[in-house]
């Protein structure tokens, strides 16, 4: 192995300088540390334009058509949760990443890393759930892989899915394309998935069960793209929530973002749970939500089309792109004050009091 001294002067650091010697959980939290890890470790070495775009998937030409390609791994705990399970999540997640590229998802692969001792009937339930989700999304699982690891070396089951989709030739969906005036539309109440998981993990019992919003969004995206050509960005605000998603887009597009707190749909139950748990719903994960950045003249049309779809019934315009403060997202609070909405740093930790 090369020692530090083996490197010529100026290249004295064989590992890109991060101030952490070990990977922390927060490096996977979807916030700033994740972004830094991806930039410093992966993008710097695998350097290419498609990766550098930091989109939900890569888009590339094949013959006279464009394909989208995306991958995601699922390590969720608990494996079964109100409103879904790891299997449904694994299918919907990759389907949604493809849809956010403006693609019609076609084929998925699935790799299972299973811990020795996982009950066979649990695995069967997961497989059936994946089958149902794939049928609902109109995709086929066409290839896969299975590994079993020693007891204690995995957390029951991890699933990776990758997918390929055909990109709508008329669509020009790219986070860089957000431009001043664009309206930001969300398809429904936010922060549901993260709170559904947290309430199970923390053993909290609320009066009504909060169920994950996991759902395939490709049908909704198809309808959005049919409605107007002026859709500039699509993004599913998963880890890190709406706040992290709008920050990423503000940075990619070098534009400012202005959110309106009062317009952001949040369910009463989720709001209450966030109060109790000490979380800001803007930073809580979603699995069946998307943000659409649409030119102002088409916004109402797209909004109405979204509202006519079952997954967009409660769609709302929650803000817009502005030329001021490029790279920064700002929110008008419900009492009329203004504050910056930063990206999540590390994991969201509940406050003491």
Partner 1 sequence: MRFIDEYRDGEAAKKTAEMIRRVTTRPWTVMEICGGQTHTIVKYGIESLLPNALTLVHGPGCPVCVTPLEIIDKAIAIASRSDVLFTSFGDMLRVPGSSKDLLTVKAEGGKVRMVYSPLDAVKIARENPDMKVVFFGVGFETTAPANAMAVYQAKKLGLGNFSLLCSHVLVPPAINALLSSPANRVQGFLAAGHVCTVMGYEEYFPLAEKFHVPIVVTGFEPLDVLQGIYMTVRQLEEGRSEVENQYTRAVRREGNVPAQNLLREVFRVSDRAWRGIGEIPLSGYALRDEYAEYDAEKIFDVGEIRTQESPLCIAGMILQGLRKPSECGAFRTQCTPEHPLGAPMVSSEGACAAYYHFGEYRGEGQL
Q: Can you say whether residue 50 is alpha, beta or left, with left for phi > 0 and alpha for psi between -120 and 50 degrees?
A: alpha
Alpha-carbon distance of 327 to 330, in angstroms, equals 10
The tokens describing 236, both together, are 């599913």
Per CB under 8 A, which of residues 200..219 are in contact with partner 1?
202
Question: What's the closest the beta carbon of residue 128 comes to partner 1, in angstroms?
Answer: 34
Alpha-carbon distance of 65 to 44, in angstroms, equals 29
Phi then psi for residue 327, to 5 deg, are: 85, -5
Does residue 314 touch partner 1 according to CB under 8 A? no
Among 76, 197, 217, 330, binds partner 1 (CB under 8 A): 330
CB nearer partner 1, residue 3 or residue 208: 208
* Stretch binding partner 1 (CB under 8 A), from 61-69, 150-158, 208-216, 270-278: 270-278
Q: Residue 100 carries which DSSP code? A: T
- Give every strand in the sheet of 157-167, ordered side by side: 58-62, 65-74, 157-167, 103-115, 140-149
User: 324: helix, coil or strand?
Assistant: coil
Among 14, 78, 169, 278, binds partner 1 (CB under 8 A): 278
CB nearer partner 1, residue 103 or residue 330: 330
Question: What's the closest the beta carbon of residue 157 comes to partner 1, in angstroms?
Answer: 23
Question: What's the closest the beta carbon of residue 292 comes to partner 1, in angstroms?
Answer: 26
Question: Dmax over Cα atoms in the chain, in whole Å?
Answer: 64
Alpha-carbon distance of 223 to 306, in angstroms, equals 7
Question: What's the closest the beta carbon of residue 275 comes to partner 1, in angstroms?
Answer: 7
Question: What's the closest the beta carbon of residue 253 comes to partner 1, in angstroms?
Answer: 18
Q: Residue 195 carries which DSSP code? A: H
Among 116, 145, 209, 324, binds partner 1 (CB under 8 A): 324
Does residue 13 touch partner 1 according to CB under 8 A? no
The tokens describing 147, both together, are 């590994």
Q: Cα separations (Å) of 18 from 2, 43, 303, 348?
A: 19, 15, 43, 21
Question: What's the closest the beta carbon of residue 40 comes to partner 1, in angstroms?
Answer: 12
Question: What's the closest the beta carbon of residue 189 comes to partner 1, in angstroms?
Answer: 14
Question: What's the closest the beta carbon of residue 166 comes to partner 1, in angstroms?
Answer: 39
Per CB under 8 A, which of residues 99..138 are in contact with partner 1?
none
Does residue 17 touch partner 1 according to CB under 8 A? no
Say how far residue 24 (Cα) sits from the centre of its chain.
Answer: 20
Does residue 346 touch partner 1 according to CB under 8 A? yes
Q: From 341, 199, 200, 198, select the one nearest 264 (Cα to Cα).
A: 341
CB nearer partner 1, residue 91 or residue 266: 266
* Stretch binding partner 1 (CB under 8 A), from 31-39, 65-73, 185-193, 305-313: 31-39
Q: How many helices (H) and strands (E) does the chain have?
A: 10, 14
Number of residues that bind partner 1 (CB under 8 A): 41
* Stretch binding partner 1 (CB under 8 A), from 14-22, 53-61, 123-131, 245-253: 14-22
Alpha-carbon distance of 342 to 245, in angstroms, equals 10
Does residue 349 touch partner 1 according to CB under 8 A? yes
CB nearer partner 1, residue 125 or residue 271: 271
Handedness of CA 197, 201, 202, 205 (dihedral sign): positive
CB nearer partner 1, residue 22 or residue 48: 22
The tokens describing 287, both together, are 């699995």
Helix (H) or strand (E) holding 147: strand 140-149
The footprint of partner 1 (CB under 8 A) covers: 19-20, 22-26, 32-33, 36, 202, 262, 268, 271-272, 275, 277-278, 280, 324-325, 328, 330, 332-342, 345-346, 349-353
């Amino acid at each position: 192995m090369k020692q530090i001294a083996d490197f010529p002067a100026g290249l004295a650091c064989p590992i890109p300088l991060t101030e952490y010697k070990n990977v922390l959980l927060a490096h996977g939290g979807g916030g700033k540390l994740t972004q830094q890890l991806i930039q410093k470790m992966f993008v710097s070495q695998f350097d290419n334009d498609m990766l550098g775009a930091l989109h939900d998937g890569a888009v590339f030409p094949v013959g006279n058509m464009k394909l989208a390609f995306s991958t995601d791994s699922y390590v969720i705990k608990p494996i079964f949760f109100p409103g879904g399970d790891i299997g449904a999540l694994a299918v919907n997640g990759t389907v949604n990443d493809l849809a956010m590229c403006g693609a019609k998802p076609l084929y998925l692969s699935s790799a299972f890393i299973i811990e020795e001792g996982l009950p066979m009937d649990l695995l069967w339930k997961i497989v059936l759930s994946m089958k149902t989700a794939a049928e609902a999304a109109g995709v086929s699982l066409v290839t896969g892989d299975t590994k079993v690891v020693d007891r204690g070396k995995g957390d029951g089951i991890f699933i990776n899915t990758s997918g390929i989709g055909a990109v709508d030739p008329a669509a020009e969906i790219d986070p860089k394309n957000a431009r001043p005036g664009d309206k930001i539309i969300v398809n429904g109440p936010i922060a549901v998935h993260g709170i559904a998981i947290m309430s199970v993990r923390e053993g909290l019992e609320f009066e009504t069960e909060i169920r994950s919003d996991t759902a395939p969004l490709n049908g909704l995206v198809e309808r959005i793209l049919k409605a107007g050509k002026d859709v500039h960005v699509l993004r599913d605000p998963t880890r890190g929530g709406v706040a992290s998603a709008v920050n990423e887009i503000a940075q990619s597009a070098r534009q400012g973002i202005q959110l309106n707190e009062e317009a952001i749909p949040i369910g009463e139950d989720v709001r209450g749970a966030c109060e109790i748990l000490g979380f800001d719903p803007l930073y809580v994960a979603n699995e069946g939500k998307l943000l659409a950045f649409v030119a102002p003249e088409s916004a109402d049309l797209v909004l109405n089309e979204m509202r006519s779809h079952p997954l967009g019934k409660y769609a709302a315009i929650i803000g817009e792109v502005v030329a001021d403060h490029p790279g920064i997202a700002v929110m008008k609070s419900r009492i009329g004050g203004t504050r910056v909405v930063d990206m999540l740093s590390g994991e969201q930790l509940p406050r003491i009091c």
